[in-house]
Amino acid sequence: MPRSRKLTVQAPWRELATTERDWQRADASLLATTLVSLHLIRAFEEKVLELAGQGLVHGPAHSSIGQEGGAVGSALALRSSDQINGSHRAHHQFLAKSLHFVAPQGLDPAQPVSESTQALLQRTLAEIMGLSQGFCRGRGGSMHLRWADAGVLGTNAIVGGGVPMAAGAAWAHRRAGTGDVAVTYFGDGAVNIGSVLETMNLAAAWKLPLCFFIENNRYAVSTEVGEVTAEARLSSRGQAFGIPAWKVDGMDPLAVHLATQEALAIMRDGGGPTLIEADVYRFFHQNGPLPGSAFGYRTKEEEAEWRGRDPLDRVANQMIERRLIDEAGVAGLRERARSAMERAAAELLDTRGKKPAVRADLWPSPDFRDAHVRGDLSELASARYVEQEAYGGTLESRKFVDSVAEVMHRRMESDERIVVMGEDVHRLKGGTNGATRGLAQAFPERCLGTPISENAFAGLGGGIAMDGRYRPVVEFMYPDFMWVAADQVFNQIAKARHMFGGDSAMPLVLRTKVAMGTGYGSQHSMDPAGIFATSPGWRIVAPSTPYDYVGLMNSALQCEDPVLVIEHTDLYNAKFPSPVDDLDYCIPLGKAKVARPGRDVTVLTYLSMVAPCVEAAERLGVDAEVIDLRSLDRAGLDWETIGDSIRRTNNVLVVEQGSLGTAYGVLLGDEVQRRFLDWLDQPVQRVHGGEASPSISQVLERAACAGPEEIEAGMRQVMTAQGRPLD
Interval 577-599: pLDDT, tens:
999 999 999 999 999 999 999 99
Q: Name the pLDDT band for 289 (thresholds 50, 70, 90).
A: confident
Q: Which helix (H) or strand (E) holds 84?
A: strand 83-85
Mean pLDDT on 460-465: 97
Residues 642-647, mean pLDDT to the nearest whole number: 98
Mind listing the pLDDT tens digit for each residue in 175-204?
999 999 999 999 999 999 999 999 999 999
* pLDDT at residue 704 tops 90: no
Q: What is the pLDDT of residue 726?
A: 87
Helices (H) and strands (E) in the chain, counts: 26, 23
**pLDDT at residue 538, rounded to an integer:** 97
How many CA atoms lie within 13 Å of 690's alpha carbon, on the beta-carbon side?
Answer: 12
Mean pLDDT check: name the lowest of 197-201, 381-385, 520-524, 654-658: 520-524
Alpha carbon distance 48, 342 (integer Å): 11
pLDDT at 694: 86
Label residue 351 exposed, middle or buried (CB < 10 Å: 0-12, 13-18, 19+). Answer: exposed
Asked if pLDDT for residue 692 goes beyond 90, the answer is: no
Where residue 1 falls among pLDDT bands split at 50, 70, 90? confident
Distance, CA of 723 to CA of 18 (rounded, Å): 87
pLDDT in tens, 389-413: 999 999 999 999 999 999 999 999 9
Beta bridge partners of 349: 358
Is 58 among the residues known to form the active site? no
Q: Report the C-alpha gap between 444 and 419 in whole angstroms.
A: 10
- 498-557 pLDDT tens trace: 999 998 899 999 999 999 888 888 888 889 999 999 999 999 999 999 999 999 999 999
Q: What's the pLDDT score for residue 697?
A: 86
Give me the phi and psi of 541, to 5 degrees please: -125, 145
Beta bridge partners of 245: 13, 275
Of all residues in the chain, what percent carry a pLDDT higher than 70? Answer: 100
Q: For residues 600 and 142, what is the distance between their CA atoms, to the nearest angstrom?
A: 55
Helix (H, G, I), strand (E, B) or coil at 708: helix
Taking the CA atoms of the chain, what radius of gyration do you get in angstroms? 29
Q: E strands along 152-228, which residues? A: 182-187, 210-216, 219-220, 223-224
- Give the whole-angstrom CA distance, residue 594 versus residue 447: 36
Report the chain's mean pLDDT, rounded to a whole number: 95
pLDDT over threshold 90, residue 488: yes
Catalytic entry in 372, 524, 568, 688? 524
Tell me which of 260 and 526 has the higher pLDDT. 260
DSSP 545: S
pTM value is 0.95
Residues 6+ away with beta carbon under 8 Å from 682: 651, 718, 721, 722
Residue 448: pLDDT over 90: yes
Q: Quick one: average pLDDT of 36-41?
A: 98
Please state the rounded mean pLDDT for residues 206-224: 95
pLDDT at 532: 95
